[in-house]
Chains A and B, each alone.
Chain A
Amino acid sequence: MAILSKDEAQNILKKVLSFSTADECEATLNGTTGGNVRSARNAISTSGALDNVSLAVESRFGKRSGVATCNEFDDATLRRCVQRAEEIARLAPENPDYVPLLGPQQYLASPLSFAQSTAGITPDYRAQQMAATLQLCEQRKLSSAAFLEDSAGFVAKRNNKGLEAYQQATDLTFSITVRTPDGTGSGYATADYNDASKFDAASLAKTAADKAAMSRQAKALEPGKYTVILEPAALVANSDASLLGAMMSAMDARSADEGRSFLSKKGGGNKKGEKLFDERVTIYSDPTHPEIADLTFAGDGRPRQKTTWVEKGVVKNLYSSRFWAQKQGIPDLPPPGGFIMEGGTQSLEEMIKGTAKGILVTRLWYIRPVDPQTLLYTGLTRDGTFYIENGKIKHPIKNFRFNESPIIMLNNLEALGKPQRVAGNLVPPLKIRDFTFTSLSDAV
């Protein structure tokens, strides 16, 4: 029952609203169905399947609000769920940040967010894709660990102010780490899609295997400031913090206005309109982009539209809550889903060719904030770090710890490559000068 059609979902939501006695009521249905398979040591380790639909009801009396949920859909359960939300609302303190629920909204269409190829995935498909990676690594006498996860889902929303929303979406995410049997080499590749027909586990396994084989017997370089080429997987990540992800999630107007953000201005206010980055830095979001099609509405029902966050190095917009936008009289922009950083046309190979001396970084790992004032982050290189000399990869190097701020990094920009999709974003490989490595790591 996980993927309800628009009519099925809205009929349940209409019934929910008909049970409401509150001043305001909003109901949201979420459904997801999917599965995953995991491998390690060249064998499948764990795998699973999940199917779930849940309903959340928010009821409001004046400025008091309560939420309740259920995951059964008979009339008695739905009625009870609404009653519970109303009971909690009556008990809740008044919310000084209250804003009324949204009325009818116009949402963009983003048909490519859902692909039947992904929704139709079976356990056999997952096993076969994984088998292809196991076979390749066995032939090359390498050891692989990989993870494939796919899901199909829908979100439907309706309130008694006339708001109505519905969208389906699918996602397939794959990552693989290939290691040499002596433990001296490791390589990584990752990809994610709405449409599973674009997915080929074996080709990603080959990339990771090539990097593993190339990275054995790494040499140590002294820590210091180096020119680096950061691959897209070193800039954004699926399941860990990332330099660009951290920067985008710090673009909240309220924390900037309150003086506790890298975007806060000395003496008060925020840095919207200021040039903070190299003029080649342009970042926007667009939920209808065919490569990263996303939901066209945010959690609170606000429409997600094409929005420019940074243009030619200038901060153009900050996102905010509806309350803060109204209070400050600023554009009412929800945070983006995925984002797009504009790049150039150069391939990664061409960027390497154009580098006299530098370091190629496949992936950054365990990235944690050190100072929120400057967005200084620390973390390490991992799974394929190479020294470049005279346009060629010369030899693998040992991993480094870095201490760097994405703000400083995007001022030290040398070149941008062709954007690629990673973790629902489109990001180019970046060549950066003076990237700060502070110590060596023995980790492979």
Chain B
Amino acid sequence: MKRRDFVGLTGLATGALFLPGFPSLGGTLVHPERLLETVDPAVKKRLADSALNAAKSAGASYADVRIGRYLNQSIFTREKQVQNIASGESFGAGVRVIANGTWGFAATNTVTEAGLAKAAQLAVAIAKANAKVQKEQVKLAPQKGYGEVSWKTPIVQSAFEVPIAQKVDLLLSANAKALENGASFVNSALFQVNEQKYFASTDGSYIDQDVHRIWPTFSVTAVDRASGKFRTREALSSPMGLGYEYMVPKAQDKIAGPAGSGLTGYKNSYDILEDAALAAKQAKEKLTAKSVTPGKYDLVLDPNHLGLTIHESVGHATELDRVLGYEANYAGTSFATLEWKKQGKPYGSKIVNIVADKTQPGSLGAVGYDDEGVKTGQWDIIKEGQLVDYQKIRDQAAMVGQDHSDGCCYAQSWQDVQFQRMANISLQPGKQKMSVDDMIKNVDKGIYIAGRGSFSIDQQRYNFQFGGTTFHAIEKGKITGMIEDVAYQANTQEFWNSCAAICDQSDYRMFGSFFDGKGQPSQVSAVSHGSSTTRFNGVNVINTARKI
């Protein structure tokens, strides 16, 4: 039976209908108060040991177990009403083993010593069945055990502790702002995630972690019935590894957009009311905005837009599993092969420095330890335009002659097997003082793009096409007004080599992807991408208007 059937039957997906690209969170629905109860680590240790012992007895040379409670709450509203409130909980355990040099995995929602032992035995049986057709043995990078340790996202207030009524009120107030300012329709949503996960392995680690993430968002639609035309303007928020404090706007987190754009950028807190009001005005403006003339333009890309371009053209391209061919049947491979890296060709211009980071405060990817018990850190991916390293996990390190994992292993829940996922991948700000206005005053013919839009890239990460949420024409150093029907097409290497200027640290903000999909069965993960506003010269822009 297709997953979509089951998801459809829970009714969870209904609120997402007008928010394209949001998968259903799945999971199950529970009373909000129950979400605050936690399971005693001592109980989890006893359960974990039963799985590890059963796996070893059945013949595993390595085993790990993840006992997880994955909470998600999503609130969907439209105009003046609540469409859906889904409080989901999923509790269970996944056991991963190596037996006869081959991986095996089994998951169960029977979280008892017997249930976990049975899952461990099934995982070993699967490993042994697969080992019969296997020629190469799994080689794990050595990993010391950390004993009993814990980590928690440094939040001020858990979103799960805030009464639902308060959260609903905020979304409906944002909708009201949009309607007051001329929106025909507005859909808003608040996604909240809390992963209470316990990892134990035969290396001797027992790691208890409490991870939080949040994403407020909306889509405002303006309809002109007479012409039959409609336009949308999405929120300029970002999903973050923060608690409910992100929903409380603070003046120091606001960065004024370039003169003439009317936009505001947001750092560690978001003003949903202010953004909803502006969104309605801009959605209406988009109905009559001039259609872009196709051609070459200098692009000035806001961090809330550039993050997705970084994600697709650098983040995915430098994942070692893709580089080695493990994702060939689905997400694809990468142009940035080991041979390509050896050739020393420039990935980008000299000012392009890109860092992988699993520790950045407020980021979606921040954890203390990854899902195979490796302590997280930070490392260079692109240095002065040159590719210097990849993102890798324990069973890949030996394949590139390294002896350590980067701590990038993640599973979306207890019932999915962990595998290599993207770390936060961020463009480092420019070293010289430069504001967005400083940058724009030197652009003769350009487009300033903010927010996420349509995005598509090939399976080896060469050719991409991106849209955006707002497009402003730049003529002779000044923003002259909104334009529409814009998408840019480029080749990853040409694009990053056309990177001409990067604003300084004061403009640095994080963009995030809350539901990044990869793997078979497909799993989502959340990851942030920081940058300051950046200029790219001579990029090919197409006009996307059509008649049907």
Contacts and interface: CB of A to CB of B under 8 A. Distances in A.
B156 interface: no
A386 to B, nearest CB: 17
Given A260-B221, A299-B11, A149 B325 contact: no
A32 B225 contact: no
B113 to A, nearest CB: 16
Give the interface SS of chain A, mostly helix, strand, loop or mixed.
Answer: strand
A368 B10 contact: no
A262 B228 CA distance: 10
Contacts of B92: 52
Nearest to A122: B129
Interface in A168-227: 169-171, 175-177, 179, 183, 186, 188
B38 interface: no
Nearest to A168: B1
A139 B21 CA distance: 41
A409 to B, nearest CB: 10
B463 A442 contact: yes
A431 interface: no
B467 A370 contact: yes
B85 A92 contact: yes
A143 interface: yes
B489 A439 contact: yes
B126 A47 contact: yes
Greatest chain B CB density within 10 A among A155, A370, A438 is at: A370
Contacts, number: 295
A68 B325 contact: no
A260 B230 contact: yes
Contacts of A374: 545-548
A258 B232 CA distance: 13
Interface string A328-358: 0000000001000000000000000000000
B10 A378 contact: no
A123 interface: yes
Interface string B223-239: 10111111010000000
A410 to B, nearest CB: 10
Interface in A295-338: 295, 298-300, 321, 337
A123 B125 contact: yes
Nearest to B94: A48
A134 B133 contact: yes
A171 B1 contact: yes
A304 B324 CA distance: 45
A441 B332 CA distance: 14
A171 B327 CA distance: 23
Contacts of A407: 548
A408 B545 CA distance: 13
A235 to B, nearest CB: 17
Contacts of A45: 103, 326
Contacts of A266: 225-228
Interface stretch (B23-31, B365-373, B526-534): B23-31
Contact of B520 (A92, A170, A239): A239
Nearest to B223: A259
B544 interface: yes
A413 interface: no
Contacts of A127: 129-130, 132-133
Contacts of A179: 325, 328, 333
Interface residues of B, number: 102
A44 B134 contact: yes
Interface string B390-412: 00000000000000000000000
Interface in B384-439: 415-417, 419
B276 interface: no
Interface residues of A, number: 116
Contact of A366 (B122, B327, B456): B456
B28 A369 contact: no
B126 A48 contact: yes
Contact of A71 (B2, B109, B184, B467): B109
Nearest to A363: B459
A95 B185 CA distance: 18
B28 A54 contact: yes
Contact of B329 (A145, A295, A298, A399): A145
A259 B228 contact: yes
A145 B326 contact: yes
Contacts of A76: none
Nearest to B462: A442
Given A28-B10, A49-B126, A401 B463 contact: yes
A259 B6 contact: no
Given A378-B456, A379-B456, A403 B29 contact: no
B81 interface: yes
Interface in B77-125: 81-83, 85-87, 89, 92, 102-109, 122-123, 125
B454 to A, nearest CB: 5
Nearest to B8: A299
Contact of B335 (A46, A147, A443): A443
A155 B5 contact: yes
A40 B5 contact: no
B136 interface: yes
Contacts of B330: 147, 175, 239
28 contacts: A28-B10, A30-B6, A38-B520, A44-B133, A47-B105, A49-B126, A67-B29, A68-B31, A84-B30, A113-B1, A126-B129, A127-B130, A134-B133, A147-B329, A255-B18, A258-B185, A258-B223, A264-B228, A267-B228, A276-B548, A299-B10, A321-B14, A373-B230, A376-B546, A401-B456, A442-B462, A443-B458, A443-B460
Given A186-B328, A374-B547, A442-B463, 7 more contacts: A30-B6, A84-B31, A91-B165, A134-B133, A147-B330, A382-B458, A444-B460
